Every structure is written in C-alpha cells, then in structure tokens.
Chain A
C-alpha cells in the first residue's frame, strides 16, 4: 500500500536522451510536487501542481516538463539530458487546505545518472 510511488527507482542514460519519471499517489491529495536532490543532499522544489494546475514553477530549464493527467499522477519528462541533471528526483503530495502548511508525503526517489 505505497502512498507515493515513483518509477523507475534507478535510471541510467546517455547525454542527449529524453526520459520520463512517473509518480502516483493513492492518498487522495490535491497537490503534487517534484523536488531535485543534488549530490550534496540539497533539496529544492521544481514544480507543484494542484488539481492538475501548475502552481509552482521554480527556475528550471525548459527541458523539464511536468505533466499531470489527473490529480493522482504527476510525471516529469526531461528532454536532451545533460550531465548536470544527474540527481535524485523526489515526488511528493499533500492535502491542500486554507489553514497553512500540511505535511508532504514523499516518494522513495528516482536516482537519475546521466553518462
């Protein structure tokens, strides 16, 4: 009964390729996120979707494009992969309320290695 799942867990690919990472949550949450964790463990938000609508879009290259087919899924597509894209990508979800911050539930991460 995984709450937030990601596939694949590991992704090794060559520079210039296009790849996708999938995320699904079965918590009934309204909001989903993508985070990037670099080699120094620093975590930074990339995107956030609420009910399939983009609400946070940090300074991320246009090569990264999130897609949310429904509120339970948020996929991340990356075009023309570069060495610097190597990182662990985490998906997360939360229930959106008007009463401030709620816990975000994180997936297990996808370790992307670009050769």
Chain B
C-alpha cells in the first residue's frame, strides 16, 4: 500500500522569497517519487522525479526536492518564487517495482504575491 500526504493545502509567498512545499509518503516498496505542477485549467507537467539515484533532485524552473528515507519525506523547494509559479502542486508516489500506478497527494495551491 502507498499513500502521500501534502502537509499544506495552501501556501502563500511573496515574489522573490523561497518556496517550500512539504510532502510525506508511505510505501511498502522502494518508491519512485514525483512532483507535478498544474497551472489553472491546464494539464499536469512533471517538475522532477526521484528514482533511487541521487537523493537531491533538480527539476525544471529552478525547483528541487530532496528524498529523505529516514523521514519519509520529499519536500519541494525553490529559492526565489516567481509570479508564474502560482499553481497547484502534486506530490506523487509509485512503487518502483510496479511503476505505473501513481498515487497523488491532495495538492498544494501556491499563491505568489507581488
């Protein structure tokens, strides 16, 4: 069984300040983890993924995430928020042994203030 908890349903930041989106997971298997972004009325786009290689993963648009097995966490960060980062973000887990079945977290809506 697997599950994902995104600890904040909403995050509000000022433009130019850091962004932190928190994600905890549970998985019976060694997991693969993803962050996806969904802009308003759009489909989902992959930001980054962890698949048992380096624990610090760099993604697109300046985002990065760190896999911490001891804490079962995969938090997403960006050092400086941009207005275009306003969107819904989803943390996703899948067991590496059966990589097709994604389990999504509840999402975190990011608001960026000018």
Binding site for B on A (CB under 8 A): 4, 31, 33, 40-45, 48, 50, 55-56, 90, 92, 94, 96-97, 100-109
Q: Is the CB of A31 within 8 A of B106?
A: no
Q: Is the CB of B43 within 8 A of A101?
A: no
A101 to B97, CA, bound (A): 8
A-B contact pairs, 12 of them (CB 8 A): A33-B100, A41-B38, A41-B88, A41-B106, A42-B104, A42-B106, A44-B104, A48-B100, A50-B100, A100-B96, A100-B99, A103-B49
A105 to B34, CA, bound (A): 12
Distance between B87 CB and nearest chain A CB, rounded to angstroms: 11
Q: Is the CB of B43 within 8 A of A102?
A: no
The residue on B at minimum CB distance from A97 is B99
Residues on A with beta carbons closer than 8 Å to the beta carbon of B90: 43
Q: Assuming A100-B32, A101-B32, A108-B43, is B107 touching A42 (CB within 8 A)?
A: yes
The residue on B at minimum CB distance from A6 is B43
A40 to B9, CA, bound (A): 10
Q: Is the CB of B44 within 8 A of A90?
A: yes
Residues on B with beta carbons closer than 8 Å to the beta carbon of A56: 100-101
Residues on B with beta carbons closer than 8 Å to the beta carbon of A40: 106
Q: Is the CB of A45 within 8 A of B44?
A: no
> Quick one: CB contact mask for B82-114 with A, threshold 8 Å, 1 for yes?
000000101000101101111010110100000
The residue on A at minimum CB distance from B107 is A41
